[in-house]
Structure 1
Amino acid sequence: MSDAGTVLIVDDDYLITELIRVYLEAEGYCISIASSGEEAVEAAPAVMPDIVLLDMNLQGINGIECLSLLQPMDCMCGVPILFLSGVSDPGTRLDALRHGAVDFITKPFKKDELTIKVGNHIKLKQLYDQVVQRNKELDILTWQLQAKIAEHEATEVKLLAERKKLGTILEMLPLGVWLIGPGGEILECNTKSEEIWGGFSLGQHEVASAYKAWWPDTGQRIGPRDWAGYRAVANDEVILFEQVDIEGPDGIRRSTLNSAVPLHDAWGKVSGAILVNEDITVLKTIQNELRELNATLESKVAERTAELERSNQEFEAFGYSVAHELRAPLRHIHGFAQLLVNNGYCDDEETRQQVEAIIIESVRMEGLMENLYDYARVGHTDIAMELVDMDNLASAAFSELVGRGDYGEPAFYKPVLPPCIGDRKSLSRVWHNLVENALKYSTASGYPVVTVSSARKTGFIEYSISDNGIGFDPAYADKLFKVFQRLHSGKRYTGTGIGLAIVKRIVDRHGGGVSAEGKPGAGATFRFTIPENSADL
């Protein structure tokens, strides 16, 4: 589209249309030509003309009929239509104007008349378009202004509701809330503030100097400039949970916690402060009572702990004595029962089976007593701390146990283990019990595999031993290291249920910890940690 405008010429006279085209293109207009009314109606939406020059006497639909079809079209809104005609009859002109034509050009026409009329009407069309655009913009601005006004009104209503809600909340708070002005003066406060201060009237106490207060740690009187609210305004300072003892008009002293936060205007200047205080008189009374109760309770706990320690020591000593004293009678029972079998005193099969059962149970009880004796002895024997070769202890335990011939030919995988500081003898027992446990529960797999490894943790060395045995239900992992706790049948797997408890007791005495993880049928892993201390000794 040309900046000068687009002209749609509708005329079935080729010479006339060419003449008009030459005249108007010379003026910079963009020209589109339709040789019939039907063609003009079809072309108008694509051409989007700024003016239409329409011959009245067209073949087919005439000029007036074409005008009637063009005018309702959206693309023709405000577009001037000038009639071209060789008829100068005033009635014909009036009829054309009555149907919506804006002007009339009589054939033959002069160039100046044509170009001036076209130019004037296009300018009017452009002015019309500007007015329409401005009206649209004005409508948009009006709508936006109305929306802003509605938004502003809604905001005002919301602010009023929020202010009312805030006022309700402030009155319901169990805290005193104060509004401090830019000079440190008190502007507003809620009802709880008056209660905390013994029912004062704000109108009589707008300045801080009217209030009596003391620092609780020194008993020094608080001056007007020492109040948290004043300091928040004067120093742009945030004060949190400052304890102050006060005395209101009722003469009663109370303990309070004060907090103050400065308020700033749009330019960042301090415009006031919010002060919050809480009456903690009851809380302090309860704290003092609790402090006295705690002191009493600590004393009782210390006494009870000492009693429990004495009871545990006595119980362990008793267990130690029982295990020691029962070993000899059990050996005698075992020995005499064995003599009965060896010397032929068991004449019948039933008697022999009964005596053999005595031998088996006496052996089991001897093992149980031996383990109980060891368990009790672990808690009483002093440990000698030294640098211990854990790699050698693990290998020795495996070799000694496999050498008995009870576990077939298991595979043993072990990288070099780091040493640690501990008691060599008791740590040797740890390895013995853990390796024996791994071999015992993995022999049924057909090809038992035992894997030992280590890892450095923060402040500790962790040693672990894994097997491919029957595993265990992880829900019962916490029972494994307790005395007499077994997760598998004693008929199929020998043992007393004390071996892992001994492991835990030895590791505990070294300041470490034990853990286990496993799944039924998927093997198990046992871990224990020893503090690093001076492992690089």
Structure 2
Amino acid sequence: MAVVLVVDDDRSARELMKTVLGYAGHQVHEAHDGAEALLLVHQSMPALVIVDLLMPKMDGMEFVRRLRRHSATAAIPVVFYTASYLESQAQHLARLCGVTHFISKPAEPEQIFSVVNAALGERDVLPQRPASSADQQDYLAGLTAALSRKAAHVIPRLEALIALGLRLASEKDPHRLLLGFCEAARKIVGAKISIVAIRHDGDSTQRFTFTSGLAPTLEQQLSPGFWDSEVHRQVRASRQPRRLDSLPPELPLPAGLGPLHCLLCAPILSPQRAYGWLTLLESTNHVAFDAEDEVLAHILAAQVGRIYENGSLYAEIKRYAERLEVEVAQRKQSQDEIERLNRDLECRIQQRTAELVDLNKELEAFGYTVSHELRAPLRAVVGYSTMALNSEGERLSDESRRCLKSVVESGLRMNRMVDDLLQFSRKGRQALHIVEVDMHSLVREIWDELIHETNAATRLELARIDRAPADRAMIREVWMNLLSNAVKYSRNAAQPQVAVSSEAIGGMTRYCVSDNGAGFSAEHASRLFRVFERLHTHSEFEGTGVGLAIVERIVGRHGGRVWAESQPGQGARFTFTLPHRQSEPCS
């Protein structure tokens, strides 16, 4: 592999050449101008020098002239590396300088390999005599004139490109965007007429059509066949530009246009879809459109396609935002109406609640009064019936004694019901005094009392019971009612037993009392918590039917709830919950 020196003031050009030649195994040195290159030549003696023609300080021609002065470096082959639009001039300069090879910018790697290999194969061939100063000066004058003509053509294009770029960067309206692009594309590429058409997928006709350089009367004469011609369909479908040196005879154009000789059509597209096409008719320099024009038109159309897509999305988002604003306003109006109705409903609920509270208070007062007033006549009935039995019982018939005993028993039962009703009424009015209650000790205390009073043989299974904040006196009545019921309804079992347990669930503690007694039908469970509701007869199990109603009222005031589960003959399970923390007492 050979040592190659690359001389170019463009760093990116040097990097490209270094990458390509390095891939082939060559050792590449770099210089940014001719003066630096001469020093490197004497240091490294490269097998080949690739030099740019136009550079500051010392150009390629002067570098070759000085390289040939010294016998040690005179035979080093040189390749000119220059822009493609100076190709013919570069060839002439190469011949004047005794350089036989050149590479045009930009170049494909295959072209670079081919030229470098050819130049390295001629290392031992002596170069031609360098051109004289007079020849060089004459040709440089011609080259300067050519560059001036090129600048006169390129500068207006650059100005139009800059103006279009500024417009594309700020324009969001698709209509104004395409209208400006149609005119700018005609000036940038250099065409007499430019035509833009946009049709989205699913559209039956063109969504947008614009022309530049075409009189309005002639624009109106463009037939539908023109917009859907074969050329335009191919460009849109293939997403590639087409350049025609002569117009196809089937392309329908207005007769007043005069003779047109060439056409250039590029697709307006984004990475996702093709939206339409840009058509340029008749080049302004009186020759056919070239490959440079085709590339430029393709780039411009692709650029505007992306911006058009963004602008269309922006317009769609803007319309959606406007609809959304209307919808938000409507929802705000509906929300205001809902809030007004809720306020009215809340006021009505508060009013009805106050009325219900007053009514409940009146009912409780009425129940308390009635219950209190019933106690005196009940005591009289029971008392006089008992006295009659004690004093006159021997003279009464068996039937009369039985009737009086029934009156006494009924009176006593009625008295217990009145007492329970008074107690139930008081539970709704009594204030709560919340403390931390040791439920385990409380259950054990109540159970010992029950067993002592009833002499029951019931066995208690007592797990560790969690503490809870509650009114101790009231919660004691809850446990008393539930445990006494469990003992009462399980006394006929072969081995009566009661189980008490607790568990924490969420922010609540759940307490359970279960027995293996008579049980009841589950469909009647809700009736148990109503006042005076009983599922068993008095002859089966004594009671007034108020105890569980008291349980529900107390648990409810603590913020919990109570329920029952059972099946006939399979025992019963009563469960109630209490919150871990008590806030405002429930009334």
Q: TM-score, normalised by structure 1?
A: 0.48
Q: TM-score, normalised by structure 2?
A: 0.44
